[in-house]
Every structure is written in C-alpha cells, then in structure tokens.
Structure 1
C-alpha cells in the first residue's frame, strides 16, 4: 500500500527529523511512503483573525492540489476520532483488503486546516486530545504507522 503524508511546514528540530528518518527506514518493508511538505503561508506576528483565516485557506488550496485522485484521505484533527493502535491497524488492513490503492494523511500547520480540506477527509483522526506541534504530530504519526504495520504483520510490538 502507498501512504502519502502531506504536511504544512518543514521539520525544524534535528531530533524530530532524525526520528522521522528512522521511522521512514523502518517502514520500507511494509509500505511505500512519501512525504510532501507544503509551504507555510507567511503572515505577520500580530496577524488579525481574517489574515489568519486567509493564510489557512491559502495553505488549504496547496494541500488540496497535492492530494492525488482516488486516495483515501485522512486529516489529523484534534476533534477527530481517536483510535487505539490496534484499531488504526485494522482500518489500514481493511482499506488494503478493499483494494484502496493509497492513503493520504494530512497534517495542518499551526493554524489548523481549512474547511475545504476538512471536507475532503474520509476520516478525521485525532492522535490525542492533547495539542502537539505539527512537527511532533508527524513523528507520532510515523511511529503509529510503523506500529500498525507490525500489528498487521503479526510481529511483536510494545503495548
């Protein structure tokens, strides 16, 4: 199965980029992974609510343009469905068995995701009720994808 991650912004912290690179290596035997980074929309430090909304919509346009046709779209959303690792693995397995060619997971920036992007989602997934930076969310997502692959392969994983 192919999994594409579309994420707003670049990873700035070395410890996070090292962790993401490690999980990219670990995922090679299980799935085809690609990461597309979407540029953060520039705005002033003291941007108004309307300027922030405009920035979120511009980022959303770039995200929507990067989503391939026929993919199953998952957006990370704090108000989304929380899944245990086993449930995430089962969801991925069922998509694969149904012949879904690819899954695209979208991680918004610090402003979140536009309504248009949220509306494109087949699944709104929450990693936790806690708030994480979008950079940290990418690392957590990668670890959970790896864990789901191990579960689906019948390999041991830490509970």
Structure 2
C-alpha cells in the first residue's frame, strides 16, 4: 500500500538519508565519486535541508510503500523556485524513488501530488529540470504532458552538466 505524507523539520534526518540514497542510486554510474560527493555534501547536508524544510514556499513529501519511505518530492513556489519563473508557476525541484520501489507507480503518484498542489495554489504552469541524458525520466515527463522549454546548467561538484527545463501548462 502506498501513502504520501508531508515532511517537516522533525523529518530532516530521514529526508537526508533518502535524498543521499536516491541521488546516489540515480547518478553514481555517470559521475566521478569526487563530483558526486561534493554535490551530496553541498545539497544534502543536514543544515541545508533544515533551511529548505523551514521555507514556507517549499514543500517536501515522503512516499511510503508498505510503511517504508520509498521516495520523496520537493516542490517550490514563488521566490523558492530555482529559476525565476514567476508566481504563476510551481517547480518540481526533486522527485526521486528508490530503485527497489520503482515500477509501482510511486513516481506518478508524487507527480500527481505536485499537480494537485499547483492546482490548489492556482498556478498556471508546473516545471522541472531533468538531466539531458536521463532519457527514462524525459520520456516519463513527456508522457505526462511536459515539453522542453529551455535548459540550464547544473553543477555536479565542479562538473557542469545540462538540465532540460520541461514545462506543462495547467
């Protein structure tokens, strides 16, 4: 059985664990250990996550499968967005599911949660950045109605990579 629950500051350590685990699973094959570790230390250190959890314009959700944390979602609104997309947009900054739990519809459920939030907040668009070489994720987002509307740099340590910006009008 699947459930989705909102995270708060009390969940910071669990959020750190799932963040490091899922990011590592997703990207370790494509990056040097040095670049990966530099990114993990910067993006997922406990203090950084606590600041993100405390931001009223950002929201985190865990997805549970059989009462185990299987993945998570982070959405941003207003000035919390990583690109200036305006107040009419909601950003899906992070959406990750542990490999062991993939193919159970959890990613789809998390994305649907983001759509629900965007509609509740009366947003006109939802957008995200996805690594240009992550063909599975790109295909998933295209299937859900997202189209490429731009790109931006993403730094894995000091290795510059390209994320495609994909947007869906609501």
Q: TM-score range by the shorter chain?
A: 0.3 to 0.5
Q: TM-score, normalised by structure 1?
A: 0.34
- What TM-score do you get using the length of structure 2 for normalisation? 0.33
